[in-house]
Structure 1
Amino acid sequence: MTRGVTPEGPPAELPEPPPAAREIFGDRLPDAVRYAELLAEVGVGRGLIGPREVPRLWERHLLNCAVLAEVVPEQVTVCDVGSGAGLPGIPLALVRPDLRITLLEPLLRRTNFLNEVVELLGLDQVTVVRGRAEEVMSELTPVHVVTARAVAPLDRLAGWGVPLLRPYGEMLALKGDTAEQELKGARAALAKLGVVSSSVLQVGKELLDPPSTVVRVEVGESPGGVRFAAKRAKAARRGGRGSRRSP
């Protein structure tokens, strides 16, 4: 077992990584295996994932999240909202060391796990922040990209994630088969948040069957809409941390 993290309960049986894992993670595959082991043992023991998910950890979780790297621009800042056990933030960090990633998660037991994983895997470009997006958004430096997976319906998720974006940023939400329908139902809410473009993408098509489905929403000059722009401007006048901008 990995030093520094103690499993709680009997170890779950984890399958070997599939051939696609080598292509996706490259020389970071040993770290991806280490992370999978932590999810299967510590993650299950602490109730972060269900034991039934262990046999499909690779295909359904790690690889499904890691291929998100295909549509994330180079050298940008990322905030993974509701990161949970680190999905998709940790796989994305392993595949893309050029990214500066914040894992945002409100629950203490999950942030403890995330901090342990970040330290054990040497992910120096990753920061863990405990809090809810709607409570800390004015304190965080706006990012280029927000990611999320299995957090909330798209309209509600956008209300948390879009205000974290810098101007002309984008939110990438991993969704399932109902992505098109969900996006259609959320368009009015997205428009109020300053979203100027939205689409459904398939990523990992050459490596995964089925590929991962991603809803991409792009914002204009005022992400989050008028109310949030006014809130951040007020924080800037007070000299608060909410006035900071990414270079």
Structure 2
Amino acid sequence: MTEVAGQPSGAAPEPSPAELAAARSVFGQHVDSARAFVGHLSSSGIERGLLGPREVPRLWGRHVLNCAVVADLMSSDSTVVDVGSGAGLPGLAIAIARPDLHLHLVEPLERRVTWLAEVIEDLSLTNVTVHRARAEQVIGDIAGDYVTARAVSALTTLAGWTIPLSKPGGAVLAIKGQSAAEEIEKARKVIRKLGGGTPEIVTVGTDVLEEPTTVVRIPVRPA
């Protein structure tokens, strides 16, 4: 693998024993690629302002593993559109964990797109395509069986960016926190108007993570 921003991509913070066990379970034979991804996040990702330095100790549990377990909700050989990919969370984490999936990363900021492309090349990920665009600009050009997002916006706004990018019969998978139920209540009318079904809160990673991941799953009605 090459170096990015002068630091080897493999120079990742070491996971705790529990995080390492989780990483081996989630990433399997691709755990070394996950290590390299964490190395990029902790070096060039910090240097270029994609993450704050205080996040380094939490990269494994709070970020990479937290995102990767969302792939448990996805069927084999599916297409995934990740909106507002930023530092590749959740898009690249899912792509590493599930090589059978094809990921479209949608990110409007050039510096982030450049970083994502460098990491994809370094990790030799062949199942990822990056689009420099806002979500609304790629509606009609790409569509996913699943549309993902993390720390992008509240559901009232996020629904308008994600539901139109889902294939009929697909689903939006939005990673959320404690505000998930409140956000759903505020967004119900918007979701229904856009063609979304009844949203539900799903917890993933309960068997491997100390803090499982909360996902709002919104089914998209068939055409």
Q: Same fold (TM over 0.5)?
A: yes
The answer to whether 1:14 aligns with 2:16 is no
Q: Which residue of 1 aligns with 2:220?
A: 219
Deviations, residues 163-213 of structure 1 (Å, cap 9, x unaligned):
011111110000001111111111011011011221000000011122000
- Structure 2 unmatched ranges of 5 or more: none
Question: C-alpha displacement at 1:13, in angstroms?
Answer: 7.8
Q: Which residue of 2 aligns with 1:52?
A: 54
Q: Which runs of 4+ in 1 moved over 3 A?
A: none
**SS where residue 89 of structure 2 aligns?**
coil
Q: 2:12, 2:42 within 8 Å by CA — same for their partners in 1?
A: yes
The answer to whether 1:79 aligns with 2:78 is no
Q: Which residue of 2 aligns with 1:238?
A: none
Q: Which moved more, 1:51-60 or 1:189-198?
A: 189-198
Q: Distance in 2 between matches of 1:210 and 1:216?
A: 18
Q: Distance in 1 between matches of 2:6 and 2:70?
A: 29
Q: Which residue of 2 aligns with 1:33?
A: 35
Which TM-score applies when normalising by structure 2? 0.93
Q: Distance in 2 between matches of 1:7 and 1:158?
A: 39
Q: Which residue of 2 aligns with 1:91?
A: 93
Q: Distance in 2 between matches of 1:14 and 1:4?
A: 16
- Aligned letter for 2:64? L
Q: 1:81, 1:161 within 8 Å by CA — same for their partners in 2?
A: yes
**SS where residue 199 of structure 2 aligns?**
strand
Q: Distance in 2 between matches of 1:123 and 1:102?
A: 12
Q: Distance in 1 between matches of 2:63 and 2:34?
A: 11
Question: C-alpha displacement at 1:141, in angstroms?
Answer: 2.6
Q: Which residue of 2 aligns with 1:182?
A: 183
**SS where residue 197 of structure 1 aligns?**
coil
Q: 2:146, 2:173 within 8 Å by CA — same for their partners in 1?
A: yes
Question: C-alpha displacement at 1:23, in angstroms?
Answer: 1.2
- Aligned letter for 1:24? V
Q: CA RMSD in A?
A: 1.5
Question: C-alpha displacement at 1:75, in angstroms?
Answer: 1.1
- Aligned letter for 2:30? R
Q: Which residue of 2 aligns with 1:116?
A: 118
Q: Distance in 2 between matches of 1:75 and 1:13?
A: 29
Q: 2:80, 2:148 within 8 Å by CA — same for their partners in 1?
A: yes
Q: 2:76, 2:101 within 8 Å by CA — same for their partners in 1?
A: yes
Q: Which residue of 1 aligns with 2:70?
A: 68
Q: Distance in 1 between matches of 2:108 and 2:179?
A: 27
Q: Which residue of 2 aligns with 1:160?
A: 161
Q: Distance in 2 between matches of 1:7 and 1:183?
A: 43
Question: C-alpha displacement at 1:69, in angstroms?
Answer: 1.0
Q: How many residue pairs align between the two structures?
A: 217
Deviations, residues 84-119 of structure 1 (Å, cap 9, x unaligned):
010001110111111111011000000001001111
Q: Distance in 2 between matches of 1:96 and 1:3?
A: 23
- Aligned letter for 1:191? R
- Structure 1 unmatched ranges of 5 or more: 223-247
